[in-house]
Amino acid sequence: MVLKKVILIIMIFSCLSISVFAKANMKLIDRYLEISGTQEIILALPQQIEKGYLESIKDKKLKQIDIKSSFDPKQTMKYVKFQLSQNFSDRQLRDIIRYYKSPLGQKFKNSGLKAVREKDDKKKARFYKQLKKNPPSYDRLNIMSAFADRLEFTPIAMHLIGEFLGSINADLVYAGGGEDIAIRIKKHMLDLSLYAYKDFSKKELKNILAYYYTNAGRSEQAVISKIFKELVAESFSQILEENQHKSASVK
């Protein structure tokens, strides 16, 4: 229950103080959450994490625990809005929204969401099989590696790796850890980026990266990174706590 307790405390605080301390206009925050795809990401996180978790344990004959309850989408959305209000100014949000309204910003967002929504796993498998036969150029691979380094916790990246978080949870619960989480996320981000942005030219990819080196892009990356890291860390803590309670009750 760690995550829910943390969010509840923050929500109580936010109800008392958000009107006094808030920096960013709530209408701009709502607009950002919608146009960037962040809102869809948050609402889909429970299903994504559960899917990755179930996929990870299906052949291991392990007892299933409740992964999906780690994220309460409505409470999480309120928490995110509060954090955004404290970390962004109206000017910063307008600059970020302007990018996502651009043709390239929309293409970037939509391509990421489309890759996640796609149900045809065979299509992805064919792509990766073909990729082994005809690997991307060194230049393109460098660009995509930069994506994995720079965009690790941006909204679109989080949507791409949502299912992977479930498998990490499974490893933490049943194996006590494993290789460094950041390394695993980065590798998965690289693999999925190659698929999600396969139709982008190198120029388009470089222009997207260029945005994340602007003041607006740096601000967005830093704030969203902080928020999602907190949410993911609390999710892990809650799952481990629940699993420990269940193990103790069995004994």
Among 62, 80, 63, 82, which residue's Cα sits nearest to residue 71? 80
Looking at residue 115, what is its pLDDT? Answer: 81
Percent of the chain with pLDDT over 70: 63
> What would the mean pLDDT of 49-74 be, rounded to a whole number?
68
Looking at residue 1, what is its pLDDT? Answer: 46
> What would the mean pLDDT of 108-115 be, rounded to a whole number?
87
Please list the alpha-helical segments (H only) found in the chain.
Answer: 2-21, 26-35, 38-57, 73-87, 90-101, 103-117, 121-133, 138-150, 155-175, 181-196, 202-211, 215-250
Confidence band, pLDDT 50/70/90 cuts, at residue 24: confident
Confidence band, pLDDT 50/70/90 cuts, at residue 27: very high
Looking at residue 18, what is its pLDDT? Answer: 43
Report d(CA 156, CA 110) in Å as an integer.
9
Of residues 15 and 96, the one with the higher pLDDT is 96
Give the single-character DSSP code of 179. Answer: S
Cα distance from N-terminal residue to C-terminal residue, the chain: 21
In this predicted model, what pLDDT tens digit does every residue of 195-232 receive, in sequence order? 889 999 999 999 999 998 999 999 888 888 888 777 76
Residues 6+ away with beta carbon under 8 Å from 91? none
In this predicted model, what pLDDT tens digit does every residue of 122-181 receive, in sequence order? 888 899 899 989 999 999 999 988 887 777 667 667 666 666 666 555 555 444 444 455
Percent of the chain with pLDDT over 90: 24
Instruction: Report the chain's mean pLDDT, rounded to a whole number.
Output: 76
Report d(CA 39, CA 126) in Å as an integer.
31
> What would the mean pLDDT of 169-194 be, rounded to a whole number?
63
172-208 burial, b for 16+ CB within 10 Å, e for fewer? bbeeeeeeebeebbbebbbbbbbbbbeebeeebbeeb
Of residues 240 and 154, the one with the higher pLDDT is 154
